[in-house]
Each structure stands twice: as structure tokens, then as C-alpha cells.
Structure 1
């Protein structure tokens, strides 16, 4: 075992431990690992920085802005209001209208704004029609994940793997190629939620948001989900003057299905849901702040102009159709050399048009980009390169092949799914893809088979974060607003993980041959 292999293995173990213990934001943890590789000569400065100029990473950045433009246009709010039945209905009938439609939307938009907009509206609607909101909120998060695996732009992980394939000198995915397996998983997952969500999910837990201030009737409850940039993370509630910082009073804190009203010794954590007592200016002031992932006060906000909504949707449609048609060989032959009508081209044009037509505020565009995700993605490329350069990928691949003896690529495909899926539940989906990709590439090379089935299974496994609330931000959001316990996710999510595993392992080799 060489010095480089020992350094990379020890660094990866330390990185995984830091991610699991949530010592820092994932981007900084991965960047720290990359700096270690730079200092030990495993990576050159050029290799370290390549991820920061990668088309896939920059495409993800601009997709954040496109999603924000759609959110601010009011198109999603109007859509969900028309979709929700306004008369008495059953859980099954309501889910039949909601789940497939939301899955379709999330195939083309970032999951987080979809859940941030839909979750409070669905909760308020469920109370109105006297149905348990808990039967809809976890399914809301799950179907955005299921929809996301069906297209290239549905989740950042698909774009990361796509870019890594291209970096390795192979042809990446087309817009709907992953849908060849993703659609089977999505349909099976939605049917599973139709049949079992009301049996496996709890009925409404006590929700004490009806807090009134006797001295000042202008104050009302606001639900706020804490983001990673909240300055009080890991501080005691009693040690952090929330009212001085934000002009609101913390009345309750919800975490893992528990409601804390005695807050003196409770520490703030990312994903906590706070019940605040605030006035009407609170959401206007902090609504676009990255400090809070979601704010809801039980009221509808002023919708954007109808022309703005339609223009935003037309731009989105042109982007999707353009990127799909532009990848066709017949179209590429007609274009001058140097011009490629791919997703990067169309998302760049769409972002600029949305900025200049003020569909999202162009002066605030940096607020709408999740920089930690981008740094995580950029560092993922460097970590993958370090695993290749040091020989760690070949070593681990040979070890896995040795354990499986002569069972063939099907068993190794299943092993890759399990490894990636465990990583994504414990750390982040993009970091999971970064660790799994070089392993998959080396496995296929040593076996002498096509690597594409392994690459596709990484996409499916890295997104299939159903069993814990910590693996996906949308799960964290609905955990607080629905007052779910950790065990609720395990109970309903683990069978969905198994469904995704079985379909992936059996269907992928039929479409992408070894």
C-alpha cells in the first residue's frame, strides 16, 4: 500500500466522519479534504480547480436562478391552488390529484422551492378539508425526489454524474435518458404511497400554532425552518437574542416529532422548525433571507402579474424543449463548429432573460444560489480525481470484486447501489456520487464491461434518500412543518428504498447493457 493510498483513505475516513457528525457545512469539509490532497501532491492545482469551472456545476448554479424565477413568478402557487380539491374529499383522491402532478413539476425544477411553496399551502388546505396534513407532507417530499430522478436537470446529482462521465471521455446523458428507469421507479413509488402512506404515516400530531398575544393582537404565529446560515446554530435558545436579531419571539421549537416549549437549555439545529410570534413585517423582511429555509404564516401572498407567470413558464418550456432537441445528431450537424445547443446553452440564455425581465430581482441573484452545494460539487470532482490518481479507486474495486468472487456484474451493480445509498443517507447526495463514481469506473474497467449501468445506478441510489430526514433538505423541511418523528421516515421510507433498489438492479441492465 503506497503513501498516496494511505493518505487518501485516512482523509476520506476523516471526511466521512466529519460529514456524519455535521462538524461543518459539507462544502467546507470536502474542500478541506481537497486541500490535504493538494498539500501532499496527490492533486495538482489545475486538477483541484477543474471542478470550479465545470459546465455541470455552473449549470446547477443557473438552475437555482431559473427555479427562483419560476417561484417568484407565482406560477407554482397558482398551480397548487387549482390542483387542490376545494370540497370534502378522501386522502386517496387528493393524493391522486397531487402526487403525479408534483412529481412531473419536480422533474424540471429544483426540489426545494417546490416543497417550500407547496408544504404550507397543503397543510393549510388539509386543515380546511379536515384531513391529516401528515398524510401529504412526507409524500410531497418523496415525489419531488422521484420526479427529479427522471430527467438530467431534475436533481443536481444527475448533472454531477453526467459531467463526470464527460470528464472521463465518454458521452453523458441526454435530457430524458435517465427517465428510462426513473419513470418505473417514480410510478412504483407513487403507487406505493397511494396504497400505504395513510397506513404507515401518523394521523395529525398536536399542533399548537394558535398562539395569541393578549397585549398585542397584531402579532400572529409564523412557522420558520432554520437554514444552515442561521447564526444561532448550536447555540442555546436562551443565549441567542432572537428578538433583537429578527424582531420576533420564539414560542416553540419542533424537532423529530417533539415540541419544546421550555427552551432555556435547547440548542438550535439546522432544520428545526420554530413557532414565532411576529407581526406582518416579519415575512416581508426575512422572506428572501437564506437564514430561513421556509417561512409560513398561514396567509397567501400577493400573486405576481399574469403576464409574468406565463412568460416565466414559456421560458422554462423553451429551455427544456431546446435542450432536448439540441442534443439530436441531426441538429448538431446543422450547427457551426463551436456551437452546441445543450442544457448549458439554454439554461444560460434563460437565466439572462429572466434577470433582464426582472422575473427574479437581478440585484439579489447571489442570494438564490446555494453556494455550499456548488462548492460541494466542485470539490467532488477533485476528490474523485484524487481517488483515481492515488490508486484508491482501483484498490477498493479489486477488493469488492474479490469479495463477490465470480457472481458477475449484477451482484456488483447491487453492491454499488447499496454503498451509494448508505452514503447519501449519512452524508449528502453529491458527496455520495463523488465517492462512488471512481469506484464504479474502476469496477467496470477491471471486469471489462460497460460502465454505464454503474453510472446510472449511482444516479438512482444517490437520490433515493427516503429513510432519514437528514439525507435531503426537503425531508428536513416537511419534518418540522408536519411534526414528524425520525421513525416516521424509517417506517415509510425504507420500503421505498427497497423498491428503488429492486427496480434499479433489474431494469438498468436491460436498458444499458454491460
Structure 2
């Protein structure tokens, strides 16, 4: 074993441990590892920085702004209200109306704003029709994930893998190519949720009684649920060290941790983590003041807090979104490429045009555009490209691929495809989906090259496995959001999510080689 291989393996092991322990944001953890590779001479400065100019990464950044424009248009809030049945209904009937439509929406928009808008509305609706919200919130998160795997823009992971494919010199995915297998996984997953979510998900877990309060001057304080985001300044601190009331003018009454525990006493001793939900008493100015802040992933007080602009703005935002999708799809057709040989009419082109139109027509506030971009995700993606390059340069990718092939040399590429799915899926449950894709991609490329087969099936299986984060609340941001507002425990995700992981695995390993032969 060479020094480079040993150094990269130890660095990757340390990276995975740091991500699991949540010592820093994923972007900074990956950036630290990239700097180590630079210092060791495994990466050149050019290779280290290539990810920051990758089209896939820039496309993700633009899609954050497009999703924000659709959110601020008020279109999503109006859609979910029309989907929710009025009057007496059942869990199955309500899910039948909601889940397929939400999956379709999430195929074209960032998952997080979809869940942030829909979750409080669904919880409030469930209470009004006397159904347990617990039967709807985990399915909400899961169907956004299932919808996201069906298109190139449905999740950042697909765009990351697409960018790595282009960097490796292969032809990337078209807009709906991943839907050839993704749609089957989504349909099977939704049917599974229809049949088993009522039985596997817990009955309603009532919120701890935190009544509204009257303060001395007669002002009313209301109960607000605040899900902590990555930029919350008290992350990894206790309430004793971070004075929440002094910073935000609200008193913490309860903490629901990302592990599913609930605390109403000794709150000052609890260490705060990203994804924890705080139940606070706040006045009417709290949500208007902090609703647009990135320190909270979601704020909910049982009322509508999303903007409701006029119909013209809603329709204009939706038309722009549809034109972006249609344009990127038509732009990939051979006849279009012949008509416009000097312009590459791909998703990158149309998402940039859509973003600029939304900014100049004030669909989202152009002066605040930096607030709507998740910079940590972008840095994670950019560093993922560099880590992937380091695995190739050092020989780690070839070495691990050779070892895996040696263990299963009698079974052929189908077994290797299954092994790659399991490895990628395990990483995505423990760390982050984009970091998982970064670790798996060079391995997939090396496996296909050593076997002498088409690498496309291996690339597709990475997209499916890296997004299939169902078994833990910490693997995917939307799972974290619904955990606190739904009062779920960690094992609730394991109970209903593990079979969904298995369903995704079986369909992927069976269908992908049929659609993209080795």
C-alpha cells in the first residue's frame, strides 16, 4: 500500500467519523479533507477548485432561487390546500389525494421548501378533521424524496452525479432519463405507503400542553415550533451557554431532539443540534421577523405564515417553471441541437435564464438572493468533486474496486451493482447524500472500467441509493423537519423506512441493468 492510498483512506475514515459525530457542517468537514489532500500533493490547486465551477454545482445554486421564487409566489400553499379533502375523510383517502401530487411537484422543485410549506398546513388540517398528523408527515417527506429521483433536477444528488459523469468524459443524463427507473420506485413506494403507513406509523402523539400566555402588559404570547437550521448560532451549545430569549425575544418551553427525545425540564442542560425543534412562547412579531432567516429551517404557529400574492404572480412563476422544464427537455433533442449548434440548450442554460427573469420581475427579492442559497450544500458539492478526484489520483478507487471484484469474481456485474447500492445507501443514511455520491462515484467508475462494461448502470444506481434515505431522520433534511413537528421517535423512521429502502434496492438492482445494459 502506497503512502497516497493510506493517506486518502485514513482521511476519508476521519471525514466519515466527523460527519457522523456532527462536529462541523458537512461543507467544512469536506473542505478540511480537500485541504489535507492539497497539502499532501494528491490534489493540485486546479483540481481542488474545479468543483466550484462545475455546471452541476452552479445549477443547484440557481435551482435554490427558482424554488424560492415559486415559494414566494404563494403557488405551493394554494396547491396543497386544494389537495386536502374538506370535511370527514380517512387516512387512505387523504393520502390518495395528496401523495402522488406532492411527488410530482417535488420532481421539479427543491424538496426542502415543499416540506417547509406543506408540513404545517397538513398538521393543522389533520387536527381540524380529527386525523393523526403522524400518518401524513413522514409520508410527506418520503414522497418528496421519491419524486426527486425521477428527474435530473429533482434532487441535488442527481445533478452532482451528472456533473461528475461530464467531468469523466461521458455523456450525462437527460431531464427524464432517471425517471425510467425512478418512476417505478416512486409508484412502488407510494403504494407501500398507502398500504402500510397507517399500520406502521404511530397514532397521534399530542404536543406537550404549552398554553398561550398573557404577559403583564396584556400582550398575548403564542406557541411556536422552530426547527433549528445550520446557521443557528447556538448549534452545539446548551441553552445555558446560548441565551435564546435575549437573541430572539422568545422563551423556550420544550426541546424535541433529532433523536426523537422530548424535554420539558432541565432545558438549560440540553445541547442544541441542527434539526432540533424548539417549542417557544413568542409574540406576533416573532415569525414575521425570523421567518425569512436561515437560522430556522421552519417556523410554525398553527396559522398561515406563507405569503399569498395575487394570482398573476402565482401563474407567472408557474409558467416560468414549466417553460424551464420544457425548454431543457426539448433542448436535449437531436433536432434542437442541429438547429442551434452554437448554443447548448441544457438545464444549466434554462435555469440561469429563469433565475434572472424571476429576479428582475421581483418574484423573489433580488437584493436578498444570497439568503436563499444553501451555501453549505454548494461547498459540500464542490468539495465532493475534489474528493472524488483524489480517490482516483491516489489509486484508492482502483484498489477498492479490485478488492470488491476479487470478493465476488464469480458473480458478475449484477452483484457488484447490488454491493455498490448498499455501500452508497449506508453512507447516505450516516452522512449526507452528496458526500455519499462523492465517495461512490469513483468506485463506480473503477468497477466498470476493470470489468470492461458500460458505467451507466453504476452511475444510475448511485443516484437511486444516495437519495433513498428513509431509515433515519438524520440522513435527509426533510426527515429532520417533519420529525419535530410530528413528534416522531427515531425508531418510527426505522420501522417504516427500512422496508422502503429494501423496495428501492430490489427495484434498482433488477430494473437498472434491463434499461441500461452492461
TM-based fold match above 0.5: yes
2-side partners of 1:161 and 1:257: how far apart?
Answer: 32
- Residue of 402, 405, 412 corresponding to 1:408: 412
- How far apart are residue 224 of structure 1 and its match? 0.4
Q: How many residues align?
A: 513
- Residue of 250, 253, 271 corresponding to 2:252: 250
- 1:232 maps to which residue? 234
CA contact 2:152–2:178 (8 Å) conserved in 1 = yes
- 1:32 maps to which residue? 32
- 1:463 maps to which residue? 467
CA gap of 1:114–1:45, structure 2 versus 1, over 3 A, is same
Q: Pick which of 3-12 and 298-307 moved more.
A: 298-307
Spell out the pairing of 1:141-152 with structure 2 (5 A cutoff): 141-152=141-152
CA contact 1:222–1:277 (8 Å) conserved in 2 = yes
Q: Pick which of 293-302 and 27-36 moved more.
A: 293-302
2:314 aligned with 1:309: yes
2-side partners of 1:73 and 1:487: how far apart?
Answer: 37
- How far apart are residue 506 of structure 1 and its match? 0.2
Spell out the pairing of 1:272-287 with structure 2 (5 A cutoff): 272-287=276-291
- How far apart are residue 237 of structure 1 and its match? 1.4
CA contact 2:219–2:283 (8 Å) conserved in 1 = no
- 1:5 maps to which residue? 5
Q: Pick which of 245-254 and 186-195 moved more.
A: 245-254
- 2:174 maps to which residue? 174
Spell out the pairing of 1:367-382 with structure 2 (5 A cutoff): 367-382=371-386
2-side partners of 1:359 and 1:229: how far apart?
Answer: 25
- 1:261 maps to which residue? 264
- How far apart are residue 212 of structure 1 and its match? 1.8
- 1:348 maps to which residue? 352
- How far apart are residue 116 of structure 1 and its match? 0.2
CA deviations on 1:352-405 (whole Å, 9 max, x unpaired) are 000001111000000000000000000000000011111110000000001112
- 1:334 maps to which residue? 339
2-side partners of 1:449 and 1:125: how far apart?
Answer: 52
CA deviations on 1:276-303 (whole Å, 9 max, x unpaired) are 1111111111001110000011111341
CA contact 2:210–2:253 (8 Å) conserved in 1 = no
1-side partners of 2:417 and 2:261: how far apart?
Answer: 39
Q: Give secondary structure in 1 for the equivalent of 2:236.
A: coil
- 2:223 maps to which residue? 221
2-side partners of 1:499 and 1:466: how far apart?
Answer: 11
- How far apart are residue 217 of structure 1 and its match? 4.8
CA contact 1:147–1:186 (8 Å) conserved in 2 = yes
Q: Give secondary structure in 1 for the equivalent of 2:253.
A: strand
TM-score by length of 2: 0.98
- Residue of 443, 450, 467 corresponding to 2:447: 443
2-side partners of 1:100 and 1:444: how far apart?
Answer: 35
2-side partners of 1:367 and 1:295: how far apart?
Answer: 16
Q: Give secondary structure in 2 for the equivalent of 1:250.
A: strand
2:428 aligned with 1:424: yes
CA contact 1:457–1:504 (8 Å) conserved in 2 = yes
CA deviations on 1:430-455 (whole Å, 9 max, x unpaired) are 00000000000000010111100000
CA contact 1:20–1:426 (8 Å) conserved in 2 = yes
CA gap of 1:232–1:323, structure 2 versus 1, over 3 A, is same
Q: Give secondary structure in 1 for the equivalent of 2:255.
A: strand
2-side partners of 1:209 and 1:44: how far apart?
Answer: 58
Spell out the pairing of 1:283-302 with structure 2 (5 A cutoff): 283-301=287-305, 302=307
2-side partners of 1:122 and 1:368: how far apart?
Answer: 24
RMSD in angstroms over aligned alpha carbons?
0.9
2-side partners of 1:450 and 1:234: how far apart?
Answer: 45
Q: Pick which of 445-454 and 233-242 moved more.
A: 233-242
CA contact 1:394–1:443 (8 Å) conserved in 2 = yes
CA deviations on 1:232-291 (whole Å, 9 max, x unpaired) are 112111232111101111111112333211112112111111111111111111001110
Q: Give secondary structure in 2 for the equivalent of 1:109.
A: coil
CA deviations on 1:117-174 (whole Å, 9 max, x unpaired) are 0000000000000000000000000000000000000000000001111111110000
Q: Give secondary structure in 1 for the equivalent of 2:240.
A: helix
2-side partners of 1:428 and 1:236: how far apart?
Answer: 25
Q: Give secondary structure in 2 for the equivalent of 1:222.
A: strand
TM-score by length of 1: 0.99
- 1:95 maps to which residue? 95
CA contact 2:134–2:201 (8 Å) conserved in 1 = yes
- Residue of 328, 335, 342 corresponding to 1:323: 328
Query: Please, which runs of 5 or more residues in structure 2 have no aligned partner?
Result: none
2-side partners of 1:15 and 1:208: how far apart?
Answer: 38
Q: Pick which of 3-12 and 254-263 moved more.
A: 254-263
- 1:198 maps to which residue? 198
2-side partners of 1:325 and 1:259: how far apart?
Answer: 50
Query: Please, which runs of 5 or more residues in structure 1 have no aligned partner?
Result: none
Q: Pick which of 342-351 and 215-224 moved more.
A: 215-224
CA contact 1:106–1:144 (8 Å) conserved in 2 = yes
2:500 aligned with 1:496: yes
2-side partners of 1:230 and 1:10: how far apart?
Answer: 31
CA contact 1:62–1:351 (8 Å) conserved in 2 = yes
CA contact 1:209–1:221 (8 Å) conserved in 2 = no
